[in-house]
Structure 1
């Protein structure tokens, strides 16, 4: 039986097919326009849309084999985040958008990729 009830837990993050050691909580946004209400003195008049950047953000664990320079200078890359529920979030033509600052306590390295293209949700 498939793990149809699993909603969270094990995830995988990859840049151009290279899998990184995902750690903790990841967040993502497909980059669809954000809608906000336009409210007048008499009623709600409608809404406006503003662009949002598509991103995948979280934390990985550094290891001996990780090419930090390749990671932090990455641009034009494809990034995928495989979720525990079976979905895959994908960013094409993405760039690395974090500082690249690591932490020695547990080898934590915050990561963030952004793209001007909208992300894709693959079910």
Structure 2
């Protein structure tokens, strides 16, 4: 049996961040929606989506949250337990920047111009 989930690694411009919990991502492929009329299905439309990687990270003394939150034109990589790597290019920080003190974690969301899955 192959490992499908579990351990992940998150990097921004090569710097590793401590991932917390579940991360989600979207490669930004067009979203298709069916078009229907009273005479039946006509086809579909496509709407662009913004590629993103999001989850939570742990705050560490070594990282600057201000620098993280001001990043633009970054490369973000999410390495998955199944061996895939999701790459987000020309990315910007897209979270409000709220972190908590109880567990020292906060929202992490980068959006970019392109997303790619490497196998």
Shared fold (TM-score, shorter chain, > 0.5): yes
Match of 1:49 among 46, 51, 54: 46
In the alignment of these two chains, the number of paired residues is: 119
Question: Equivalents in 1 of 2:3, 2:40: separation in Å?
Answer: 42
What's the counterpart of residue 65 of structure 2?
68
Query: Does the CA-based 8 Å contact 1:32-1:118 persist in structure 2?
Result: no
Match of 1:112 among 104, 109, 112: 109
- 5+ residue gaps, structure 1, are none
What's the counterpart of residue 74 of structure 2?
77
Output the TM-score relative to the length of structure 2. Answer: 0.97
Deviation at 1:27, TM superposition (A): 0.4
- 5+ residue gaps, structure 2, are none
Output the TM-score relative to the length of structure 1. Answer: 0.94
Structure 1 ranges of 4+ moved more than 6 A = none
Question: Equivalents in 2 of 1:6, 1:70: separation in Å?
Answer: 35
Q: Residues 48-98 of structure 1: CA distance to partner in whole angstroms, max 9, x if unpaired?
A: 000100000000011111111110000000000001110000011100000
What's the counterpart of residue 21 of structure 1?
18
Question: RMSD of the alignment, in Å?
Answer: 0.8
